[in-house]
Each structure stands twice: as structure tokens, then as C-alpha cells.
Amino acid sequence: MVKEIIIVKRIHLFGIIALVLVLVSACSSDPDTSDIYGWSRIGGTAFTQASASYLSLQVDAGTPYLAFRDSESNIHKASVMSWDAAASDWNFVGSQQFSSNPATNLFLQMYNGNPFVAYKTAVFENATPIAYGATVKKWSRQ
């Protein structure tokens, strides 16, 4: 079976928890059977523990990354998770809820294997760019 990483931009399950789907292309060795296409979940039916909104998705070297407004404990700060295919699990990139204030309008971009997130805060009403440093393993303003 060959998996094509084609992921849905609309990844919200009933407004409560995030769900990521991948389009799977299964090529049969039987010449009488045509290719089969369908959607498959990456991970469980839900992997965020609380409401996720303002979702932004990027794929880097076959690994999906998801930035979102994390409503765990009703705090609404920015979080980023990535898919660990070896462990079949979603993990936080750096600390959970890393933004200093509640975040909206998140945008995630990958550059040289590092996630960059821009978001708007309710406190300052301006865009805040932040990057994850793979060497220092923490988020910092750019």
C-alpha cells in the first residue's frame, strides 16, 4: 500500500477536538483491480485533549505539523503538535500553550525543518512571529 500525504485543510471535529485525515492510495498488484482511494485517520479519532480552533497545517519531509489555539484549561494559547509515525502518536513541539497570551488566527510555516508560527493576540491585536529552535528545544520570538 502506498500512502500519499494529502491532508485536509479543514480539520475540525464537531468544534471540539482536532482530527487529521490522509488520503490513502492503495495500489493493488492484481491487474483486474483498479486503484482504491479513501480517507484514513492519522492517529486516533481525536488527539487534542480540549477544543482546537484556528488550525494551520503543514507537512515537512512527510511529517504533518498542526498549529492550533489550544483551549486546554480554558487558556486558549497557541500549541503545535507533530505526528510521530514510529510511535503512532501526536506529540507537542516544545511546550504546550507556548504563547504568552491567548492566540487567534494562527499560521504555521515550515522552513529548513523548523516550524514558524504567526498569530494574533487579543491583548495586543498585532501579529506575533515565533519560531521553534530545534537545537535549544524551545519557542522564541524572531
pLDDT for 135 beyond 50? yes
Q: Which band of pLDDT confidence, cut at 50, 70 and 90, is reported for residue 91?
A: very high
Q: Which band of pLDDT confidence, cut at 50, 70 and 90, is reported for residue 100?
A: confident
Average pLDDT in the chain: 74
E-strand spans in 17-62?
Answer: 21-26, 36-41, 52-60
Q: What cell does 99 get?
A: 504563547
Q: What is the model's pTM?
A: 0.72
* 45 φ/ψ angles, rounded to the nearest 5 degrees: -70, -25
Q: What is residue 47's predicted lDDT score, i.e. its pLDDT?
A: 77
Q: What is residue 29's predicted lDDT score, i.e. its pLDDT?
A: 46
The answer for residues whose C-beta is within 8 angstroms of residue 70's C-beta and 6 or more apart is 48, 50, 52, 76, 77, 78, 79, 96, 97
Q: What is the pLDDT of residues 29-77, one digit of tens each?
A: 444 444 455 677 787 767 788 888 898 999 999 898 999 999 888 889 9
Average pLDDT (84-110) is 91
